[in-house]
């Protein structure tokens, strides 16, 4: 029997910009500690979650699917996960993984996941090299990510406030529901 579709949910704790910035700063500290300890690149998984509520049942479901897809791709590529640390926090779920692999090949792998998986557009998978710098899509000749609603670069729409929050949330909900129907649950 199919589970009911996720409904558009804005219930939960609203997160302030200050909380998001504080979490981002702490994540950088965590990244630097892992890079120093292991001397290997990092993969960071977070979500594309517009709006002030970042921790919902739907967000956790999407995150868990991303984590599973990432682990499967790493296993298939023969990459070893040396360490991982993550959380489900009010600022949204996140995971840092230390991977024994070359940063550019990791970025190519995560780009395939983001581009090919039904939920891939909802994941933000970054690869950090040994200096802590993010490996960009452009380094692999791949164009910037596109908006969830139009064909413009996502960062441009986000910064300009081009689309209503409810429309972005509905687009995310629709992707999740398509995926859940495909799973048969």
Domains and CATH numbers, the chain: 17-141 (3.30.70.260)
Q: Give percent of the chain above pLDDT 90.
A: 70
**Per-residue model confidence as pLDDT tens digits over 18-72:** 999 999 999 999 999 999 999 999 999 999 999 899 999 999 999 999 999 999 9
Q: How confident is the model over 3-10, as a mean pLDDT? A: 47
Query: What dihedral do alpha carbons 33, 38, 39, 41 form, nearest 10°?
Result: -80
Buried b / exposed e over 158-170, threshold 16 CB at 10 Å, is: beeeebeeeebbe
Q: Report DSSP letters for the chain, one per residue.
A: -PPPPPPP---S----HHHHHHHHHHHHHHHHHHHHHH-S-EEEEEE---SS----HHHHHHHHHHHHHHHHHHHHHT-EEEEEEEEEETTEEEEEEEEES-HHHHHHHHHHHHHHSTTGGGEEEEEE-TTSPBPPSGGGT-PPPBPSSSSSBHHHHHHHT-S-HHHHHHHHHHHHHHHHHHHT-
pLDDT of residue 53: 93
pLDDT tens digits, 85-116:
999 999 999 999 999 999 999 999 999 999 99
pLDDT attached to residue 158: 80
pLDDT for 34 equals 97
Question: What are 146-177's pLDDT values in tens digits?
Answer: 888 887 888 888 888 888 989 999 999 999 99
pLDDT at 105: 93
């Amino acid at each position: 029997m199919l589970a009911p579709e996720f409904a558009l949910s804005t219930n939960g704790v609203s997160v302030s910009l200050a909380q998001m910035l504080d979490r981002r700063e702490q994540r950088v500290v965590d990244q630097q500690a892992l890079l120093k300890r292991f001397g290997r690149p990092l993969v960071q998984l977070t979500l594309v979650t517009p709006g002030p509520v970042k921790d919902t049942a739907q967000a956790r479901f999407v995150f868990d699917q991303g984590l599973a897809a990432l682990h499967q791709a790493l296993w298939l590529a023969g990459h070893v996960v040396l360490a991982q640390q993550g959380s489900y926090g009010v600022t949204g779920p996140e995971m840092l993984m230390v991977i024994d692999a070359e940063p550019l090949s990791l970025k190519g792998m995560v780009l395939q996941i983001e581009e090919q998986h039904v939920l891939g557009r909802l994941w933000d998978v970054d690869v950090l090299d040994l200096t802590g710098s993010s490996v960009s899509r452009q380094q692999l000749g791949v164009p910037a990510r596109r908006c969830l609603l139009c064909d413009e670069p996502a960062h441009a729409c986000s910064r300009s406030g081009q689309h209503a929050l409810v429309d972005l949330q509905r687009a995310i909900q629709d992707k999740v529901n398509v995926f859940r129907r495909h799973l048969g649950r």
